[in-house]
Amino acid sequence: MRLKIIFLLLISVFSLFILFKHDDYAEYSVGSDYEKCRLVRIVDGDTIIVNYKGTNERVRLTGIDTPEAAINDKAKKDSEREKKDLAKIVKEGKRAKSFAENLMEGENFIYLEFDVRERDHYGRILAYVYLADGRMVNDLMLKAGYATLMTVPPNVKYKDRFLKSYREARTKKRGLWAD
């Protein structure tokens, strides 16, 4: 009986070791140079609102794009460009938003990492967004198949990593690629 307990404990410790060595945790960690801010709201799969330095700011997740979660001008343009039903685009956008909400559920604070350009022409903050456990939301959205690549120089720090995650999701038919 005692040997069984020791064996189970060893397996538990080994399992925890494997879990925290998993790719999502090993590649990224929240650095001291990242900006900690309070998560206010998730707008859609690639846009959130945070309280940054005392002001509510819109943050666009760098390197990814998700379908629109509501009917708007961009959703209409995407529908025309992709020859895809507008209702389907919005449905996919809602799925991407839901995935993002599940990822960040219960997170009071998130962390922002900046690349070369910190704001876009709309005034939104451009950032790689991290959860408290060190996982990067941008990459997780790609890996799960709820985002596509949107590389806009000069913000290309993780472009190779993102390309790998995007290809993996498409190949394994994850998320939006499952349909």
Q: Which residues are the active-site residues? A: 60, 68, 124
State the amino acid at position 69 in one-letter form. Answer: A
C-alpha angle 45-48-53 in degrees, rounded to nearest 5: 160
Contact 86, 79 (CB under 8 A): yes
Question: Which tokens go with 177?
Answer: 């690629």
Measured from the Cβ of residue 167, the count of other Cβ atoms closer than 10 Å reads 12
Place of tokens 């022409």: 121
Q: H or E element: which one contains 166? A: helix 159-171
Is the sign of the CA dihedral 136, 175, 92, 147 positive or negative? positive
For 39, phi and psi rounded to 5 degrees? -75, 125
d(CA 112, CA 53): 12
Beta bridge mates, 61: 127
